[in-house]
Structure 1
Amino acid sequence: MIDRINTTTANLVRWLALFMVLIQFAIVMGRYVFGVNSIAAQESVLYLHATLFMLGAGYTLLVDKHVRVDVFYAKASPATRRRIDIFGHLFLLLPSMAALLYWSWPSVRNSWKILEGPLSVGGIEAVFLMKTLIPAFCILVMLQSVSVLIRLLSQRAPS
């Protein structure tokens, strides 16, 4: 079920990449061909980019395409890789996501309380929505981490 949540989310947000390209193209054409500029259009690319990456992170973990910084992982045996993955999820990923969720929540709550406005004059009046991506990111990644852990712990340890 968790995998399905992140797969569905990814299938929805992947279209944002196309919208980002189209909007950026329109911004460049507007600015350099027609001499027209829009702060809101520029910010919309930022909002789309943030949404794409924050909501797509859980899916990236699902398909195991995230960045690995463990230099020993590539040459490790399957059993060692499994132990590294379990350790990473239990002691690094889940605690860091829980800390980020905990420490970002007051900022998100306050942003909603005042319906925080644009980043720049003439920008999109929805910073509160962009800040909401932080807890959404944390929850989706934590859920996917639990799903991966369940799979790792239910496997027989390779020899």
Structure 2
Amino acid sequence: MLKLSAAIDAVLNTIARIAAFALPALVVVVVFDVVTRRFLQMGSTQLQEAEWHLHTILIMGVLGTAYIHDRHVRIDLLHATFSPRGKALVELLGILLLVFPFCAVTG
């Protein structure tokens, strides 16, 4: 079972490293879109679509690894005051109310 877990971790880490390349591409596309739209009055639906696709690749690609390594975003000031049961409840509610709907909309 540990071999399977290690294999899954390796796959998730590889996916996250590949998906991380979407971040610089996303920054370039967003900056180009803003500059052309704001200063050249040339809006582009294709650029906005590219932004959504790159954003989805980035989030979906790194979400599993961030979750496994406990590096996802929290409000630590509040999180530190909760009991372990309260932390688990907040985690479950966050997954049900935020992660699943996001995956359903973007996936």
Cα distance, 1:67–1:33 mapped onto 2, change above 3 Å: closer
Equivalents in 1 of 2:32, 2:79: separation in Å? 43
Root-mean-square deviation (Å): 3.6
1:28 aligns to 2:23 (yes or no) = no
| 1:9-88 equivalent positions in 2, closer than 5 A | 9-68=15-74, 74=80, 84=85, 88=88
Residue segments in structure 1 that go unaligned for 5+ positions in a row: 105-129, 134-159
Equivalents in 1 of 2:81, 2:42: separation in Å? 54
**Comparing 3-12 with 67-76, which one deviates more in the overlay?**
67-76
* Runs of 4+ in structure 1 over 3 Å off: 67-76
User: Structure 1 residue 34: deviation in Å?
Assistant: 2.5
The C-alpha deviation readout for 1:94-147, integer Å capped at 9, x for no partner, is x95xxx5xxx6xxxxxxxxxxxxxxxxxxxxxxxxx85x3xxxxxxxxxxxxxx
Q: How many residues align?
A: 95
Structure 1 partner of 2:3:
none
Equivalents in 1 of 2:70, 2:81: separation in Å? 17
Equivalents in 1 of 2:23, 2:13: separation in Å? 16
More helix by share: 2
Residue segments in structure 2 that go unaligned for 5+ positions in a row: 1-6
| 1:114-153 equivalent positions in 2, closer than 5 A | 131=106, 133=107
User: Structure 1 residue 68: deviation in Å?
Assistant: 4.7
User: Structure 1 residue 70: deviation in Å?
Assistant: 9.0
**Comparing 34-43 with 19-28, which one deviates more in the overlay?**
34-43
